[in-house]
Amino acid sequence: MTNLFLVPQWFYGYDIALELLFALITLAVGLVALKVHRLSSQAQVKLFGYSFLLIASSYFFKSVINFLILSKIRGGTCTACKISDILLYDNIGMIGYMILFAIGLGTIGYMTLKIDNWKAHTLLILILALAIIFSINKVYIFYLLSSILLVYILGYYIYNFIKNKQRKVILIIIAFSFLLFGSIHFLISVNHSIFYVIGHVLELVAYALILLNLLLAIKK
């Protein structure tokens, strides 16, 4: 299930920098969303903000673990007795990242239900976390679950746009479309590492669009 073998050799290191950038952008999204909540008192915006704080923590966790792995490799300490340690770090980094990200994405999915029931929310995130922890192919299950959640979330925003005709929703639709395509590309990248790079590029554009949408909402 390790992530190391999905990354093209020339891209390793750059992906860590990108993931750190993702962490900073999604952190900004979460903080700006909470600021919008303070101005509007909308419960959904509050959940949206907490969701992106969780997603930001997933990227921070993953980038730190991957940086430690990279430092060991480039430091020449990657001897036969260290290989197992590096694989262990990689697995810990990926599992931690996947659980935090899934909980964040699941919280956005819960937000779209427009209900106030902490038991339903807890049940949803427990199912997501346990499905990842106990699956044999954790990476595949993670991206499969992410794709399903993103389809549902994207459908929610498309329906809202059709119903209310609000232009500001267009940026969110485009952003979650890119995240969905990126998640599907990661599924394919199990056999084709170039899709791993494409997925990162799509994520970068998506998070930038979501942040732009929230900044425009504050400006108005």
Q: Give how far Cα 137 sits from Cα of 25, 91, 149, Å.
A: 29, 12, 18
pLDDT of residue 15: 74
pLDDT of residue 2: 47
Q: 111-138 burial by CB neighbour count: b if 16+ within 10 A, else e?
A: bbeeeeeeeebeebbeebbeebeeeeeb
**For residue 105, what pLDDT band results from cuts at 50, 70 and 90?**
very high
Rounded distance between C-alpha atoms, residue 161 and residue 30, angstroms: 22
Count CB atoms within 10 A of the CB of residue 151: 14
> 139: Cβ–Cβ under 8 A, 6 or more apart, which residues?
1, 3, 6, 94, 98, 190
> 111: Cβ–Cβ under 8 A, 6 or more apart, which residues?
44, 47, 48, 51
The answer to whether 66 touches 19, Cβ cutoff 8 Å, is yes
Rounded distance between C-alpha atoms, residue 64 and residue 70, angstroms: 10
Q: Is the pLDDT of residue 170 over 70?
A: yes
Rounded distance between C-alpha atoms, residue 51 and residue 119, angstroms: 17
Summarize pLDDT for 152-169 with one digit per residue, the tens: 999 999 999 998 877 788
Residue matched to tokens 């919008």 = 36
Residue type, 80: A
Summarize pLDDT for 21-52 with one digit per residue, the tens: 999 999 999 999 998 888 887 888 999 999 99
Q: How confident is the model over 134-153, as a mean pLDDT?
A: 92
Cα dihedral value 94, 197, 13, 191, nearest 10: 60
Q: Domains of the chain by range and CATH?
A: 8-219 (1.20.1070)
Q: Is the pLDDT of residue 77 over 70?
A: no
